[in-house]
Amino acid sequence: MMAQKFFRLYGHMSRVDFDDYLNTAYVVALESLKKFRPEKGKFKNYILKCINYELRKLTFNSYREFYYSISIEEFIIDHKDNYRLLSLHYEFNEQSFLMTKNFIDNVLSILTDSQLDLIYCHYYKGMTFKDISKSLGVSPSRVSQLHSETILDIKKIGFHSND
């Protein structure tokens, strides 16, 4: 009876079939029969509230799904500008890649071999200044000084390449 009422009132808006309302009402009735506690009140009131709640939820969810769903054509039309933004983003990434490549080329051409070895050992191999000092035969404090000088040289190259 409640399924008929909901179908008559909301079926055309929510696009839910009568059988779906009826099946939902049956399932809820069986579940509420299992969960009913007599101290809570009359069974009739309890089952009607449960069915009413679930049928409203079914109606609302199907209406919301219909309302918020769009066709593929609408999606493509609405998101044309996003495609342009993605292509601009790709061009920007290509440009930043070229800038980074030029910066690295400048660094490689200006730094000495010992400075390049120091950077390679410290940042790529993960060696500490103490380990590098043993391999170069100098003190760890001298390695720290060389590292600071090298970083300053790299920063200078970076500032000149941005001009």
CATH 3.90.1150.10 fits 77-162, yes or no: no
Q: Examine the pLDDT at 129 and tell me if it is beyond 70.
A: yes
Q: Confidence band (pLDDT; 50, 70, 90) for 132?
A: very high
- Provide the pLDDT for residue 66: 67
Alpha-carbon separation of residue 24 from 46, 52, 131 (angstroms):
16, 10, 73
pLDDT in tens, 85-119: 555 555 566 777 788 888 888 888 888 888 888 88
Radius of gyration (C-alpha) of the chain in whole angstroms: 36
- Provide the pLDDT for residue 110: 86
Q: Which two tokens stand for residue 86?
A: 């993605």
CB 16 within 8 A of CB 59: yes
Q: Which two tokens stand for residue 34?
A: 């299992």
**Chain centre to alpha carbon of residue 143:** 43
Q: Examine the pLDDT at 161 and tell me if it is beyond 60.
A: no
pLDDT in tens, 17-41: 777 778 888 888 888 888 888 887 8
For the chain, first and last CA: distance in Å? Answer: 79
The span from the CA of 3 to the CA of 32, in Å, is: 16
Residue showing tokens 């609302």 = 60
Q: Which two tokens stand for residue 16?
A: 């839910």
- Provide the pLDDT for residue 143: 92
- Provide the pLDDT for residue 12: 60
Positions of CATH 1.10.10.10 in the chain: 77-162
Q: Confidence band (pLDDT; 50, 70, 90) for 144?
A: very high
CB 32 within 8 A of CB 46: yes
